[in-house]
Amino acid sequence: MYYLPSLNDAEGASSWLPWLGLCAAGLALYGALWPKNRPTYPPGPKPLPFVGNIPQLPIVRPWLRFTEWGKQYGDIVHITAFGYHIVILNSVSAINDILDKRSRIFSDRPRLRFMSFLNGDLFIPMMPYGDTWRKHRGLLHQKFRAGELSIFRTMEFAQAHEMVKRFMTKPDDFFVHVKNYTGSVTMHVAYGYRPSEGRDHILEKADEVTHFFTDNLIKATIMEIFPALHRILEWLPGTGYKEWAFQVRKMLDEVLDLPFKFVENEISKGAAQPSFTSDQLDKVGGLKGDELKDSHKWIKEVAGNIYIAGTDTMYAALLSFIQSMVLHQDAQKKAQIEIDRVIGHERLPEFSDRESLPYVEALYRELLRYRPVTPLGVPHAGTEGTFYSEYYLPEKVVVLPNVWAMTRDERVYSNPDKFLPERFLTSEGKLNNDNIPLTYGFGRRACVGRPLAEDTLWIAIVLTLATCDIAKKTDKNGQLVDVQDLFPDNLISTPLPFECSIKPRSAAKKKLMETVDVNIS
Ligand code: HEM
């Protein structure tokens, strides 16, 4: 048996000396091997060795658990997964400090191997921060600057008018009508293409690709966390992974080609509508050979982004609007009273009325707060290590803006689980300064389609409120059909199917809708 020597006897003291020497040497070695300023990461749940916080990561609605962690650990929470560093931002001030003020560092995206495997860094929201991203985003930005969008307003009004008329004639199919509306607007902006009323070949193909992206982002992120699995799947015979990627790439090429050819054809007939693609083709008209081929490639890719990034996000927001109106009748009534007072009963609201309808505007803002379209935003990534206060954020850290937590932050929004458009109004009934930018993202990667989305959503909302009543449906036994606000766990939060009643507010409103002369060219 071995006893520790006592410091009280001389023999004992001398036998301590080698111990002390050993400890001193050990500490010196520790100091040399371990970085002098060992980084302190932001607080967070304790990770396990190697796997990190993987076992604590919730599969269902992760933003809810992240919001709880925010209450426990603070506005910035750090977790790891197989050596990857992830920080979750739970407040507007943390977002401002990191994603806005340091946007030079935090404007990259986590690399998703499956994107490069598909031979396609073509989806702007997922592109690495760099020259290609800058060029592609710049082209959309030019097109979507608020002042440039007025040329699309007549078309948006006409499409929204068409959608509301369909609500009146076939109310049970409102999911289809909304999808047709958002798809028609983005197709028109991208290609000047007007999808046919029933099933549209190009729209269906484009939809398949959109779902591919939104449904597979989660899987792609898992691939990212398990790179070995990615490599195994890539080479393992029989997994079908390579064939699958090949098929998807083929589908993608077809979706980018079909509407592009439509525009070329329209241009040759002299019948092309103003659109992103026709404008760009006009600009590169003088090029030849490889230069022309190359420019056609990026025009196709950038145009595809308008449909892929714009259609389902706006679809989700408008379905949330319909659902919120079923569940919050008082807000619907107040908006209708305002519209009737300002617009009267002889005409329909137009874009030029927007500033005169603060309650409708507040309702639109509350909708995006109450039901954020992307509750976890879109992940950003850092390109170099940096400190945030005393905490170290390493290079390549993945940053998750927890939009859900920010919309539920009681320091900013009292009674956050209540649908209250009034929170965006001053006591004089004017709009306050909170124009809910959270929903559209942050820093240099903030949504480039925001001005287009704001127009498209607003005109649809105001025309619906002006002319229709949305309420619970009554079943054949005379019972009200319950509506639960249920959402899936996807990147985009689209309400799960629900039923409701959409009826013209009066015979006069129905007549007004039918008689207004709208021209969708
Ligand atoms: C309700 C409608 C919409 C919502 C809620 C929305 C939301 C977002 C969000 C959260 C991001 C990521 C921002 C970030 O990284 O911090 C984003 C990026 C983007 N959005 Fe939207 N969006 C909408 C409509 C549109 C539309 C109509 C377009 C049409 C062009 C569009 C095009 C894009 C593009 C291209 C990006 C990528 C920007 C980049 O990475 O640089 N979005 N959007």
pLDDT of 251 over the 90 cut: no
- Cβ 317 under 6 angstroms from ligand 1: yes
207 and 136 in a common domain: yes
pLDDT of residue 35: 46
Whether 333 is covered by a domain: the verdict is yes
pLDDT of 29 over the 70 cut: no
pLDDT of residue 485: 80
Average of per-residue pLDDT values in the chain: 86
Among 19-28, 83-92, 156-165, 354-363, where is mean pLDDT lowest? 19-28
Q: How far is CA 340 from the centre of its chain?
A: 33
For the chain, the domain total comes to 2
Helix, strand, coil tally for the chain in percent (to 5): 60, 5, 35
92 and 194 in a common domain: no
Tokens read off for 454: 């704001």
CA 143 to centroid of ligand 1, rounded, Å: 14
Mean pLDDT over 104-120 rounds to 75
pLDDT of 10 over the 60 cut: no
Tokens read off for 430: 């004017």
Q: Which atom of ligand 1 is nearest to the CA of 446?
A: 13
pLDDT of residue 484: 86
Report the CATH number at residue 283: 1.10.630.10
User: What percentage of the chain exceeds 90 in pLDDT?
Assistant: 65
Query: Over the Cα atoms of the chain, what is R_g?
Result: 28
CA 309 to centroid of ligand 1, rounded, Å: 6
389 and 470 in a common domain: no
Q: How big is the CA angle at 146 (ends 143 and 151), to the nearest 5 degrees?
A: 65
- Cβ 117 under 6 angstroms from ligand 1: no
**How many angstroms separate the CA atoms of 313 and 315, rounded?**
5
Whether 293 is covered by a domain: the verdict is yes
CA 126 to centroid of ligand 1, rounded, Å: 11
- Cβ 302 under 6 angstroms from ligand 1: no
Q: Whose CA is nearest to atom 27 of ligand 1?
A: 310
- Length reported for the chain: 521
CA 440 to centroid of ligand 1, rounded, Å: 6
428, 116 Cβ separation under 8 angstroms: no
Q: Whose CA is nearest to atom 19 of ligand 1?
A: 447
193 and 45 in a common domain: no
506 or 436: which leads in pLDDT: 506
Tokens read off for 15: 């036998």
209 or 195: which leads in pLDDT: 195
Whether 31 is covered by a domain: the verdict is no
pLDDT of 26 over the 50 cut: no
Mean pLDDT over 34-43 rounds to 72
145 and 86 in a common domain: no
Q: Whose CA is nearest to atom 7 of ligand 1?
A: 440
Q: Whose CA is nearest to atom 24 of ligand 1?
A: 310
Q: Whose CA is nearest to atom 22 of ligand 1?
A: 447
Mean pLDDT over 208-215 rounds to 71
CA 14 to centroid of ligand 1, rounded, Å: 72
pLDDT of residue 233: 57
Show the 3-state SS of 135-197: HHHHHHHHHHCHHHHHHHHHHHHHHHHHHHHHHHHCHHHHHHHHHHHHHHHHHHHHHCCCCCC
Contacts of 511 by beta carbon, 8 Å cutoff, 6+ apart: none
Whether 362 is covered by a domain: the verdict is yes
pLDDT of residue 219: 55
Out of 145, 369, 440, mutate this one to test ligand 1's pocket (max ligand atoms within 8 Å of CB): namely: 440
**How many angstroms separate the CA atoms of 82 and 20, rounded?**
37
- Cβ 451 under 6 angstroms from ligand 1: no
Whether 27 is covered by a domain: the verdict is no
321 and 283 in a common domain: yes
400, 329 Cβ separation under 8 angstroms: no
The reply to whether ipTM tops 0.90 is yes
pLDDT of 252 over the 90 cut: no
Residue type, 257: D
pTM flag (> 0.90) = no
- Cβ 128 under 6 angstroms from ligand 1: no
Instruction: Residue 456: name the closest of 155, 132, 32 by CA.
Output: 155
- Cβ 412 under 6 angstroms from ligand 1: no
303 and 261 in a common domain: yes
Mean pLDDT over 336-349 rounds to 97
Q: How far is CA 158 from the centre of its chain?
A: 26
CA 447 to centroid of ligand 1, rounded, Å: 3
Q: Whose CA is nearest to atom 37 of ligand 1?
A: 125
pLDDT of residue 342: 98
- Cβ 442 under 6 angstroms from ligand 1: yes
Q: Which atom of ligand 1 is nearest to the CA of 137?
A: 41
Over residues 253-272, the pLDDT tens digits come to 888 999 999 999 999 999 99
pLDDT of 19 over the 60 cut: no
Residue spans of beta strands (DSSP E) within 264-331: none
CA 103 to centroid of ligand 1, rounded, Å: 17
Q: Whose CA is nearest to atom 21 of ligand 1?
A: 447
- Cβ 140 under 6 angstroms from ligand 1: yes
Residue 447 marked as a ligand binder: yes
Over residues 501-511, the pLDDT tens digits come to 999 999 999 99
- Cβ 120 under 6 angstroms from ligand 1: no
Q: Which atom of ligand 1 is nearest to the CA of 374?
A: 10
- Cβ 313 under 6 angstroms from ligand 1: yes
Mean pLDDT over 507-521 rounds to 84
295 and 362 in a common domain: yes
502, 171 Cβ separation under 8 angstroms: yes
Over residues 59-105, the pLDDT tens digits come to 778 899 999 999 999 999 999 987 889 999 999 999 999 999 999 99
Whether 282 is covered by a domain: the verdict is yes
Mean pLDDT over 404-408 rounds to 95
190 and 85 in a common domain: no
Answer positive or negative: Cα dihedral of 80, 81, 82, 83.
negative
414 and 396 in a common domain: no
Task: Work out whether strand 386-388 and strand 468-471 pair parallel, antiparallel, or are unpaired.
Answer: unpaired
End-to-end, the C-alpha distance of the chain in Å comes to 96
Report the CATH number at residue 79: 3.30.43.20
462 and 349 in a common domain: yes
Among 76-90, 143-157, 202-216, 399-413, where is mean pLDDT lowest? 202-216
Mean pLDDT over 222-237 rounds to 56
Out of 313, 444, 452, mutate this one to test ligand 1's pocket (max ligand atoms within 8 Å of CB): namely: 313
pLDDT band, very low/low/confident/very high, at 151 (cuts 50, 70, 90) = confident
Whether 349 is covered by a domain: the verdict is yes
pLDDT of residue 114: 61
32 or 483: which leads in pLDDT: 483
The residue segments making up the domain with residue 175 are: 121-374+408-515
369, 434 Cβ separation under 8 angstroms: no
CA 446 to centroid of ligand 1, rounded, Å: 7
pLDDT of 159 over the 70 cut: yes
CA 454 to centroid of ligand 1, rounded, Å: 12
Say which DSSP state 102 is in.
Answer: T
Describe the strand order of the beta sheet including 398-401 as a list of residue ranges.
76-81, 84-89, 398-401, 380-381
Whether 29 is covered by a domain: the verdict is no
239 and 105 in a common domain: no
- Cβ 124 under 6 angstroms from ligand 1: yes
119 or 496: which leads in pLDDT: 496
Mean pLDDT over 317-341 rounds to 98
pLDDT of 122 over the 50 cut: yes
Q: Which atom of ligand 1 is nearest to the CA of 457?
A: 1
- Cβ 446 under 6 angstroms from ligand 1: yes
pLDDT of 214 over the 80 cut: no
- Cβ 403 under 6 angstroms from ligand 1: no
Task: Work out whether strand 84-89 and strand 76-81 pair parallel, antiparallel, or are unpaired.
Answer: antiparallel
Contacts of 336 by beta carbon, 8 Å cutoff, 6+ apart: 465, 466, 505
Which of 407, 425, 457 is where one domain is finished? 407
pLDDT of 9 over the 50 cut: no
pLDDT of residue 38: 62
